[in-house]
Amino acid sequence: MLRNALEPWHLILIVAVLVLVFGSKKLPDMARGLGRSARILKAEAKALKDERPTEAAAPTQQPTGH
């Protein structure tokens, strides 16, 4: 049922609706903002991934209470 869910004519229809709703002047600004958000998300995910192995390599010592 969902095998051909996103065909080329679907994308054309989505772009046409976006142009009608937001106007052609707002679309480049929206795409630029979406690109910036994607870059920030990618950088944060990479930083989080790079941070985790260093935390696992240096285990914290628990107080023994003696």
pLDDT in the model for residue 41: 95
pLDDT in the model for residue 24: 82
The torsion angles phi and psi of 19, rounded to 5 degrees, stand at -65, -40
pTM score: 0.49
Buried b (16+ CB within 10 A) or exposed e, 31-41: eeeeeeeeeee
Checking if the pLDDT of 58 tops 70, the result is no
